[in-house]
Amino acid sequence: MTILEQRTHIIKSKSDELGFLDIGISKAEKMEPEAKRLDSWLNANHHGQMSYMANHFDKRVDPTLLVPGAKSVISLSYNYHTEQRQIDSEAPKIAQYAYGKDYHMVIKEKLHEFINWIRSEIGDIDGRCFVDSAPVLERDWAKRSGLGWIGKNTLLLSKKKGSYFFLAEIISDLELAYDHPVTDQCGTCSRCIEACPTDAISTEGYIIDSRKCISYLTIELKDEIPTEFKDQMEGWMFGCDICQEVCPWNRFSKPHSEPQFEPTNKLLHMTKSDWTELTQEVFSKIFSKSAVKRTKFKGLKRNIAFLDLD
């Protein structure tokens, strides 16, 4: 085993210790095909009000602009799947990923621990940690690193682990042994396309119009939700899991083991009437450290009202 392979092996072993679901490594270089696809997607205005997606385009497709001299992109996944559900079947729904503590906080802390460990074991490296908070094409890097393929629902899918996981990266000037992409396994399946109630996924798959996506409508959209979606939300008040729930590969998803992602009893036991009568005080208490805070109390109330639960 070469020094490069040994170094890569101990880094991958450490990711297991820190609780990451999977790890893959790819060469840090400008992403030419991905840049063209992103440009096309933006030109079609599929990003809607997410103007930040068009910002820092060059950095988004070239990791060496984020970390000068970067040689490797370490892609990591972190499981958030849970079999727990809200008790009241008529209550407005929250996507699984937002059940517990904000993943940005949880994973960023682990990433900093990881990179500090790398520095203590290997030496002083230049590197930065990212988790859904910077101009990084996370799914594309994860695909390049062999963590899975980008499915027809545009999420990263793993043959053995499904899709209920967060993605994160460490971009560094450390040279490592690189992994390789895996084959697309969606085949002729079109369950996610057919199940999407707002037709956000293109008929052939692999392209999503965010302006129609329930997650976008309930989180990113700051205006009123267009009336055309009035009877298509299927009870979702924050995010949406439909295209994951119908994906055959998620039969291999296993429950996470991260205590900080556990939902509170209060959240799970909120009834339909509790949600329709939600106050700022209760919102602040339940979601004090939650990703749901992103939509703010006003936004969540808007979403609940739009569902017309009465």
- Please give the positions annotated as active site: 132
Roughly how many angstroms between the first and final C-alpha of the chain, as a whole number? 65
From CA 274, how far away is CA 276, in angstroms rounded? 6
From CA 164, how far away is CA 83, in angstroms rounded? 11
φ, ψ (nearest 5 deg) of residue 241? -120, 10
**Is the distance from CB of 72 to CB of 250 less than 8 angstroms?**
no
Provide CB contacts within 8 A for 158, sequence distance 6+. Answer: 22, 77, 147, 148, 165, 249, 252
From CA 223, how far away is CA 102, in angstroms rounded? 24
Strand blocks (E) in the chain: 22-27, 72-79, 93-94, 127-130, 149-150, 156-157, 165-172, 236-238
Residue bearing tokens 């062999």: 146
How far out from the chain centre does Cα 243 lie? 13
